[in-house]
Structure formats: C-alpha cells, structure tokens
C-alpha cells in the first residue's frame, strides 16, 4: 500500500510537471521533423524574397529621402561612405526575404498543423480536415495584423521616437546630423519589427488550436513571454530601451487579448 501510494504519487507528480511544460516533447519532435522537410522550401523562399527585395529596396530608400515626414526639423542626413547605400539595400532585401520566410512558415503550419500533431501523437485524422479554411484564415489574419503593425509604427512609434531623438540631441547641445544608413535602418527596423511582432497572437492561437500548446501553459509561463518580448524588441528594433518597450509591449497586449478570446470561445 505504501509503495503503491508513493508510486502513484510520483506518477501524478511527474504528470503535473509534464503538463506545465510549454511544448510537449512528442509534438515538438513531429514539428521539427516537418520543419526539416520544409527547410529547402523555406530557404528558397527567403532567397527569392531577397532577390526581388533588392530592387525594391532602392525604391524604398528614394521614397524615404523624398518624404519630409520622416526627417525632423533641423536634422541633416549625411552619407559617410559609398558602400553605405549598397549595405542598406542588402539589409532591406534581407528583411523582405525574412518576411517571405515567415509568411511561408506560418502558412505551411496553418495548412498542416493538425496532421503534424496527429503524427506526433500517433493518431489518425481525416484528410483535409479544415486545412483550407485554416490556411485562408491564417493568411487574412497575417495581412490584417501586419497592416495594424505598420499603422501603429507609422502613426505612433516612428513620429514619437524620431522627435524624441532629435529633441534629446538638441538638449544635449549636439548637432542633429544622422547617418543615412542608421536613419533609414531605424525607420525600417521599426516598421518591420512592428509588423512581425504583431503576428505573435496569430502564432499563439495556431499553437493552441493545433493542440501543441494548452492555453494554461501560456499563463503559467507568462514570465517567459515577457522575456521573449524584450528579446524580440531588442532584436527587431533599434538598440535603445524605449524602442524595445514600444515594439514588445503591443505584442504582449495582443497576445493576452488573443488568449482571452480563445478561452471565451472554448467555454
């Protein structure tokens, strides 16, 4: 009786500890196996986006230079070296390639998510069980969330930060002279970071609906997501704390809203 009691207690304890894991092992193995199979496609999509993004980068640079709204009053834009334009175009092309990479990845997971999890759990599901519907829904939500991120960056984030940096330099008695590469990289980094971070709620809902992650796991691991938001803000935005917060903060708000709606629908 005592041995059985402790054995059952250990089993229950192990089960509870396993239930707190954010990502179950079987599903993760199936997911990584699927990603290995799709790696060539994803890399090809990145290269394709990079190739087509390079000439588009030149148009983006010309548009930013001709636009007055992105240059605060009294700020002068300078070019320090001839290679600066080429390096800037390569950076923009790589961001476009990464956006195509993420778009392909999310679309593929929305189409094959249930099949991947079924293989991980070793269960059988019906063919074409909602794949087309989820795929179309994911594409529409990616476009909507991406546009919301761009609008947020255009209307709030970029004007506030550009004005803040110009006034801060003026208050310190510094000349308001910005390098072309840093200036455009700052602006496009905020656009790209906002559009990408606004996709986090969609990815979270896809993980929940596919059965990879339980909703309660997001609540129990909230600290991890706060850290991830700061990390994403540091990676995608210019390297200053205010930009990190303004990029990562809306992502957390949208994530909590998406999880709240998902809980309400499940009830």
What does the pLDDT read at residue 55?
Answer: 92
Residues 6+ apart with CB under 8 A from 191: 149, 150, 153, 154, 158
What does the pLDDT read at residue 78?
Answer: 77
Three-state secondary structure call for residue 162:
helix
H or E element at residue 178: strand 177-179
What does the pLDDT read at residue 4?
Answer: 47
What does the pLDDT read at residue 56?
Answer: 92
Three-state secondary structure call for residue 76:
strand
Consecutive 10-residue averages of pLDDT for the chain (267 residues): 44 42 62 82 93 91 81 74 84 90 83 69 52 77 89 86 74 70 83 83 77 71 72 64 74 81 74
What does the pLDDT read at residue 203?
Answer: 80
**Nearest by Cα to 36 from 100, 108, 127, 92:** 108
What does the pLDDT read at residue 194?
Answer: 84
């Amino acid at each position: 009786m005592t041995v059985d009691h402790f054995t059952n207690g250990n089993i229950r304890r192990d089960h509870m500890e396993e239930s707190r894991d954010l990502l179950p092992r079987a599903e993760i193995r199936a997911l990584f196996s699927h990603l290995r199979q799709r790696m060539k496609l994803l890399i090809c999509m990145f290269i394709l986006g990079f190739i087509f993004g390079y000439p588009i980068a030149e148009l983006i640079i010309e548009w930013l230079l001709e636009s007055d709204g992105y240059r605060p009053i009294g700020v002068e834009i300078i070019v320090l070296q001839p290679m600066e334009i080429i390096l800037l175009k390569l950076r923009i092309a790589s961001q476009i390639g990464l956006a195509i990479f993420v778009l392909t990845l999310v679309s593929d997971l929305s189409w094959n998510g249930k099949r991947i999890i079924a293989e991980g759990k070793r269960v059988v599901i019906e063919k074409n069980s909602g794949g087309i519907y989820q795929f179309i829904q994911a594409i529409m939500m990616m476009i909507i969330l991406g546009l919301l991120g761009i609008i947020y960056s255009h209307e709030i984030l970029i004007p506030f930060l550009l004005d803040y940096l110009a006034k801060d330099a003026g208050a310190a008695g510094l000349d308001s002279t910005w390098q072309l590469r840093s200036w455009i990289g700052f602006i496009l980094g905020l656009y790209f970071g906002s559009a990408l971070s606004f996709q986090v709620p969609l990815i979270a809902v896809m993980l929940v609906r596919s059965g990879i992650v339980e909703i309660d796991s997001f609540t129990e691991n909230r600290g991890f997501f706060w850290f991830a938001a700061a990390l994403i803000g540091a990676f995608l935005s210019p390297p200053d704390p205010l930009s990190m917060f303004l990029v990562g903060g809306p992502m957390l708000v949208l994530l909590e809203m998406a999880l709240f709606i998902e809980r309400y629908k499940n009830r």
